[in-house]
Every structure is written in C-alpha cells, then in structure tokens.
Amino acid sequence: MSDHALEWLMAALLGAVISSAEIISRYRDEPEHALRTWPSLFYMLINASASLATLALIHTLNWNFGINDPEASGWAQVFVAGFGAMAILRASLFSVQIGNEAVPIGLKRFLDVMLASIDRAVDRNRAEERGKAVGEIMQKVVFEKAYQSLPAYCLALLQNLSQEEQDQLGKKIGLLYNSTGINPRIKSLLLGIALLNLVGEHVLRAAVNNLGADIEADPLPSTSPEI
C-alpha cells in the first residue's frame, strides 16, 4: 500500500474511532453491544466520510501547516482532517428559538438524531438480554439484605466511578427503599437493573456470587420425616 493510500485509510479510521469513542462513553456497561448496532455503524461511517472529505479539501487547498517535509506534512494533514471533521460535524450554524428551547440548526442536529436512534436501537437489542440476566443474577437476592452491601461492594470493585454517579445510584436506592407499595421481589430486580446500568453484568454477577448467603434468602428449614 502506498503512503498516499495509507494516509486516506488512516484519516477514515481516525474519524471512525473518534465517533466510536463517543458511542462507548454513552454505554460503558456493555459498549460492544452498542457498537454492533446498524445505527452505530452508520454513525461511524458518517464520521469516517467526513474525515475523508476534510482531507480532500486540505489537499485541494494545499495546506501544509508550515511543514516543509512532505511525509510529516502528509500525516499532519491526516490528523487535522480526522479531528477537524469532528469539529465541523458538531458545529451549529445558528439556533432557532422554538418556545423556550433553542434548537441548533446544522450538522450537529443531524448527529443528535443519529445518537438518539442509536439509543433506541441499543435499548431494544439489550432489553430482553438485560431482563434475563438481572432475573438470573438477582433470583435469590433479598432487597432488605442487599440494598446496602451489594451496591457498596460493586462500587468498591470499580475505581473510576465519579461521585456524581455514586450519588445518583444512592438516590435511586433510597427511592426503592422508601417505596412501600412495591413488592420486595420487584425491588430486588430494580436494584439489579440500577447496578447493571452502572457496573455491567459481569461485575454485578461477581458481586452477588461473592456475597452469597449474606444477601440471599434464608434456606427453608429441612423437615425430617416422622418415624
């Protein structure tokens, strides 16, 4: 492969990687599922195409950014195209006031629609899987035993959760605890969903397995047959 072709390939890959990072940041619990949806692939293709278009414009205008070495100048053009396309796509030309909301007009609006489509696609694809996983993991878990220790243990297993995320989890658990009209079994499932959204399926499963009997229902007393 020639250096010129490699530059075009790298510009497209850079645009795709940047957009994939944006998708991953929205679905940290199961990012691989989000990246495999058709809207996600189309979103990455749009960003890759924008990087190629930006690189073509840079070549047309013969921008070398003050670098005399042709090879170094070529790679500088690639990186500017990759990151510059991201800025162009996310720019708003102007805003229109609709009611109390300022609606941006430009490519950013289109990308926001695409991200909303990705959200819906991921939710639909994962809903059944997540329901089965939570039902299995939380099958024996008792809410009254687990609402403090299980979240604390899950949070201790992770290192990079922000204080804001931890506070939001605490509020959700507090609402569950104070909801007297919800069946305890449903509370356990909702607790599992809240933790699954934050820490992912594998961490939640490991935490429940490690805590074991401390958060599970007490075993029924065995009855000896009468002689």
Assess whether pLDDT exceeds 90 at residue 224: no
Q: Please tell me which of 38-47, 98-107, 140-149 the model is most confident about, judged by mean pLDDT.
A: 140-149
Torsion angle of alpha carbons 1, 15, 80, 113, nearest 10°?
150
DSSP H or E segment with residue 20: helix 3-26
Question: Average pLDDT over the chain, rounded to whole?
Answer: 82
Average pLDDT over residues 73-100: 72
Q: What's the whole-model pTM score?
A: 0.61
pLDDT given for residue 148 in this prediction: 94
- The 10s digit of each residue's pLDDT in 162-202 is 889 889 999 999 999 999 889 999 999 999 999 998 888 88
Q: Which amino acid is at 87?
A: A
Assess whether pLDDT exceeds 80 at residue 9: yes
- The 10s digit of each residue's pLDDT in 15-66 is 888 888 877 877 766 677 777 777 778 888 888 988 898 888 888 888 887 8
DSSP H or E segment with residue 22: helix 3-26
pLDDT given for residue 190 in this prediction: 95
Domain boundaries, the chain: 3-113, 138-214
Instruction: Give φ, ψ of 117 to 5 degrees.
Output: -65, -40
Name the token pair of 169. Answer: 């989890």
pLDDT given for residue 98 in this prediction: 59
CA distance linking residue 108 with residue 92, whole number of Å: 6
